Amino acid sequence: MTELVSEDFLKTAVELLVRLVESAGAVIIFIGAAIAFIRFLDAAVRHRHEPHRFVAVRLGLGRYLALGLEFQLASDVLRTAVAPTLREIGELAAVAAIRTALNYFLGKEIKEEQEQLAAERKDPDPSAPPP
């Protein structure tokens, strides 16, 4: 019985997809870093006495990093989609565990900082006397 698609062709096609998804993840992270840098400069120059501005920059960057990491993980999963070796599966498991842990802690930090920002907006200066 002849193969519908050869394994070599499939590997080549998947490798192209892996590079595209990896590139998308890298572009997302780069764009997020560039936007965060511009927002940081704005906060540092115009709003240096408003610490919540810096937290907002970190939150924005964190979102881009989390999304970029998801794309990188997707490319790793794709890489092992065609006839993976035991070694490749082990490497994927290690990389997936590291990226998942990074994403978890990044998400946790984003949530905590969002809560902190929300609390600061409700009560901007708790030591100030009431009006």
Residue 1 pLDDT: 46
Question: Which residue do the tokens 């998804």 mark?
Answer: 21
User: Residue 98: pLDDT above 90?
Assistant: no
Q: Name which residue leads in pLDDT, 83 or 26.
A: 26
Q: What is the average pLDDT score of the chain?
A: 84
CA distances from 39 to 59, 109, 113, 115 (A): 11, 19, 17, 20
Q: Is-contact 102 67, C-beta < 8 A?
A: no
**Confidence check: pLDDT of 130 > 60:** no
Instruction: Give me the residue spans of the domains in the chain.
Output: 7-120
pTM, 2 dp: 0.72
Instruction: Output 127 or 14, whichever has higher pLDDT.
Output: 14
Helix (H, G, I), strand (E, B) or coil at 129: coil
Are 58 and 113 in contact by the 8 Å Cβ rule? The answer is yes
